[in-house]
Structure 1
Amino acid sequence: MSIRTLLVLLVMAVWLPALAGFSLLARITYLREVADARHAVEQLGESIASSVERELDKRVFMARALSASSALADPDLRRFHREASGALKGSGAWAVLVDERMQLVNTVLPFDAQTLRERPPGLPLLREGSAILFAARGAATGRPVLGAFVPEAQATPVVRNVGVVFEMAAIQGILDSQNAAQGSLSAVVNQDFVIMARSRDPQKWVGAKAGPEIQRRVRDKEVGFGESVTLDGVPSLTFITPANRFGWTIVLALPKNALTAAAQRLTMQVLAASAAILAIGLAAVLYLARRVGAPVIALRDDAIRLGDDSVPPERPFPVLEVREVSRALHAAGRRSHEAKQLLETRVREAVVDAESAQAKLLEGQKREAIGRLTGGLAHEFNNLLQTISVALQVLERDAKEGRNARVLQSAKQATRRAADLVRQMLSFGRDRPLKREPVQLARLLGGSQELTDKAVGEKIVLSVDVPADLPPVYVDPAQLELAVLNLVFNARDAMPNGGRIAIGATLHAAASNALDATDQVCLSVADNGSGMDELTKVRAFEPYFTTKPIGAGSGLGLAQVAAFVRQSEGHASIDSVPGRGTTVSLWLPVAAADAKAPASAPATAPAPRVLPLQILMVEDDDLVSAVVVPALERLGHAVRLCTSSDAARQLLQDERERFDVLFTDIVMPGGSSGLDLARWARVHRPSLPIVVATGYTVREVPSDLELLRKPYEIDALMLSMLRAIEAAPR
């Protein structure tokens, strides 16, 4: 093979990677331009949506302001016409007043020139809220208009609506003011899929229905990008924004030919650059073929090395051009090798990051699903437990000593165990606020050791080795005690024939160079029981996972431990060997020096007897009210029952109704909760004592409200009412 052929091959070996590189660069550039275009469209859509919603809110605000006019309450329509005309002067809008059948006032016309017209079609008389109405032909102007309608503010019941009417130019002006990409299309579509404004040919399309594909996507809430054809017949990449609170959406279309034009331009640039490089290479072949002889063999070998992904050596050829080629091959091999190593490293890192992110996402989704399920179950289950608990309390007061009394006592204990089980479910299902405070482990574990010794039985030796000089940990003491009990019970169940359980704690100081360094105390519970295999260790903290026989365990113990440690800003670990035992370690943060323990609450005492009370009880659960109301009445109190916050509020608005205390559930049907009712009562009945109860809620309860957790006892309810009465302003 001739030297010229070898040089041609060498040129091709250099040119082909360059062509691939240019193609890759063109592809990356094209994708970046497409991504930039999509981002610009998204930003434009959000900007238009925000501007349109502000414009509609402004009109609704004007209408609400006019609806509060005292002229409507008199009624003095002439004065309302005068006030509305003055208020809207210069705003580009006018006011209308309509009743259920007719248009009574329109400030576009002088008041003396008013003629009764039929109410605009398609708009029922509003009793509450607001509505935006589109009319293809305004009653007074004959042009397409929009109207923001609200009910009259001072009338009960509502018999008239006030509207602020404005022309479509207000919405069209928003689109015209946007700096959209050339060739792109933007449109505003209302809740009935009618085009309210359009950046291209608005005179033709405003008032028309959007295309079927756009209607389907808006109806199915398919927001974001998708392919469609505009009403002009232009294939486009279409972006749809989420509907605002009036049901309006923004549709933006970017023609596909604009994207393909960018791809064609970049392709031509790549071809031109590649052709130029190839031409230069062939010319060099003709020149070098005359001057290069033996060194070409070496260059061929170096090219082969480069193709094998190795770095060719830099040879000291006497010919300058050949020496430079050798140097270039060496540099190219080195860059290729470094790039490959870097790429492999980043690919490995990306794979690890992706797997970690996927695992965290799945864990978060699982916890969210379980939390949603347990929250709903807790609310319903606590209402059922409340019914059972109060019924048992009522029966217990009537039961005589004997067999029935023992049965009732066992039933009450079962109810309390069920309530504890619900609290365990909530501890891992949702992040609940902990009552964290500095806790001395030695004191807490020493105080509960007698109970723990009884729980493990006589066959098991329990030892506690916690230094008294350990710094306090910053945790919820009740949750910590429950976590330790769960670990001890698990260790006991792993040793049916007896064994040893050791509880210990050690201090671990944080590294001095670590960010957010915090000292930790490692609290461990170790046993010499059956141990766990690897699969069991991996799943040990999963809710409802248990290796115990059916009926012997719920699978919630370790799940509660994991949730408690996570919320306490620590972590938990398991070290176990089958046949040798298990050690569970809880890493808990040390309390800061300025952390203070909360003041101790007074001990619970039986409720004192109080004078008969007039109680307003708000409870939507028929089972709960069916037992609580008779229980209170048996104590001599008068109870008025409401099944919703709205009904209770209507009752409290009557000043003739007098109550000594308001007792309400938090979670209520309808749009108003027990907390909303309490806030209303604080304003309108400030001296009324309030007690709130809940089986489960994620809303924060104000500290000035007396709170009862379901299931509660009647004595606890009476104590809460007494505290609320004593704390109420006189």
Structure 2
Amino acid sequence: MNALIGRLTLGIQARLVILVLVTVLPLVGLVSVAMIRAVDSERARIERDVRDRVENLLADVDRQITGVQGELQVLAVSPSLQTDDFAAFDRHMREALKIQGTSIALHDTRAHQLLSTTRPFGEPLPYETNSEMLDRVVETGKAQISDLIIGAVLRRPILTVGVPVFRDGKVAYVLAMGLGPEILSALLNEQNLASGWNAGIFDRNGLIVAHNHDLGRFIGQPAMPPLRTQILKSGEGWFPSITKGGLPVYSAFRRSPISGWTVVIGVPREYVDAPLRRAQWLAFGGGGMAVALSLALAWWMARAIRRPVESLTISARALGSGASAGPPVGGVRELDQIGEALCATAAALEQRARAREQAEAALRASEERFRMLAESLPQLVWTCLPDGRVDYLSRQWLDYTGMSEAEPLDSQRLKQVIHPDDLPATTASWAAAAEGRAPYDLEHRIRAADGTYRWFKTRGTPVTDATGQTIKWFGTCTDIQDIVEARDTLAHSREQLEVMVEERTRELAAANARLRTEIGARELAQAALMQAQKMEAVGQLTGGIAHDFNNLLTAVSGSLELLEARTSDEKSLRLLHTAQRGASRGAKLTQSLLAFARKQHLEPVPADLNSVIAEMSEMLRSSVGPPVDTRQSLASELWPVMIDVNQIESALLNIAINARDAMPQGGTLLIETANVLAGNAELPDEMAGRDCVLVSMRDTGTGMSPEVIEHAFEPFFTTKEIGRGTGLGLSMVFGVVRQSGGAVRIHSRIREGTTVQIYLPRAIETAAFRLGRATQAQLAGGAHILVVDDDPDVGWVTAECLREIGHQVTEARSGGAALTILEQGGPCDLLVMDLAMPGLSGVETVRLARRARPELRALFCTGYADDSTFEDETGGDVLLKKPFGSDALIGAVQRALRRKADRGSGNVVPLRRGEQPQSRR
């Protein structure tokens, strides 16, 4: 404005008028603004009051809804509802109706009304078509509130509140209360709003559910478009609108977080805007009068000031031309002071002009000395102003960079000589130093005139005046190319050394890892070898014990059978039977020891698995111990299977022991059998197309992971600590089952137990299998038999059994004695030989005897378990395992006598303990 006034060359009078306007108008404006702000404050107060009323009204509505939810939740846990006693619950619902105009209904999860207080109990109820709220209750499991709907029974507008009724953690019913709009309208009327004020409640769709004026007219109608847009967009607000009746109002609204409904109160605009219009008229009228009075006073004062100012102007012009200026005409004290100051200023200006000339001469001399000093230094020297503009570069700088003195020293030209990679750091470092007025220190590359770059160390120091303000920067650039190259060489050497050390460290770490792996593998192999050697020693010890014990049992059992055949006294027979049962239990104990040592010769015979399991039940219980509850579920009419009973017993015993180890705190072991038809989807692939018998052993132990199951049948694989398991149990089970033509499977989950399933092929029942015990009359004969056994008791019992059925028997106690008897030429149809004897073994004795008598037949008896080489050494003679009874001995003798003299036929008839001799049909 001052520039505009200067261009218009206004006089004192005009300027004083402008001054008055500039002074008075802001005061008038301030007064007007104050009045308007007071009105705005009043409007804000009205707005706050209306908003508070809306808040209170909304709280009343929410309390009403919350109270309804509370009543419904109390009803939802009613015992009669939990027991589906709908008649009693209907009475409870009607007793709970405390508010006029409300109703309660019970719905199922498909929105069917089951009960309603609007109809007597038992009367059919219509389907609830407005089921959106009910569906939300079922989906969320929480209380929900509907928008305005038409009731299914009374067909009038209502609002419903629904709560879930839970049963077993799921929503079983929805309990809903209907509220008539008149209940909410009563809340509006209780607010005692001023005449002309409007209040309403809108649902989530913007429909009117309650109104304080003419509810029947407005119920269910949508809000006016501007109002509806606002309440659907925002949670609360204040804005101008128009009511349904056309009345302009200011509306305050707020949405409930509980129901989603919006409460609106409209205040007539006339009530809010009238104070503002009165304030505006007052401000404009009073302000205009103040401005007019001030202008008149300013005009009069300006005329009194103009003459002294004109005199002062004459004196100033004289001073500008260099002439002496006399004192101006007075009249105004301030203008007189200005005139005296003009005279003093003229004298001071003359003195300053002489001093400036002397200072300029001294500055030129100082600059020349600085230039000479800078150009004598080997560094590149520069200076710049506080804003960073360079004002001097030394001759060395110009020669190095190839710049000329005629070039302008602009920042872009100087940036061109800085290496592009170093330019950002250079700029940032300079900005930091300039801002902090601290020394500038940086290493960067500067381009030479030939285009090459060299490393320089640039330092800059600020030069300050007496007040501490920077007036100039002085700096140098020192060539450090050789230092940087030496530093890079040293860094490269250090990196190479670190790489070499790191590579050697990795090699040492890898070597250490390999060494640890080899040591661990060696320790595991040694532990496995020790365990295998221990098991081998146990097997050998068990085999030796079994041989001796079998000899004893053979003598005892045979003698008891002979006594039984020669005794008719009932008391004596009872004693003999008791002794015979003890001998049988001893035989079973021997077989259990052999099964544990895995020394059994595979002797498959038709057998009933149910009987096998029943016979070994006691042994299973004693093996797993009292903490484990052993149970059986055996199928009726189970098919027979061809198995080596001893081996299968050993397999089942191994599985039971594994189950026991998996249940250290006790549990249940369930043994089940079943027939499985060919084509059953559960059959293993290798058993497809065959009828099978299934033996399943299920425990409730710790279970196995898929990784453990994958390796469970591998030899020496075990999850137990060293010394507690051989790792051969399940591998032996797998071998026995596979050798028997079957398959084995494991199903297990961690902490859920393990099930081992054994599938064995069904055996075809033959007449021999069904025949049972043959009579001694069928087996009678009169052959000449030489019995050879180093144990006199076993030899005598064997001979007596054969004599009982009419054979001619000769006894020998060694292989040599038997050969002597044969050399004497006596008749001999069959040699009954002990397989293992001191001196000549049974096989060696038979081999020597057949040199003279090739047709000689032999029956070998043995108490050893390991007879794997028997067939290779004898060519297929009959083998009889000790201990044996008279029936087994007689049957074996008959088979041996029926064999042809040609031993190459390979007709081996292995017999197991307890097998009965069979006749041919």
Q: Normalized against structure 2, the TM-score is what?
A: 0.34
Looking at both structures, which has the greater relative contact order when contacts are Cα pairs under 8 Å and sequence separation is at least 6? 1
Q: Normalized against structure 1, the TM-score is what?
A: 0.42
Structure showing greater radius of gyration is: 2
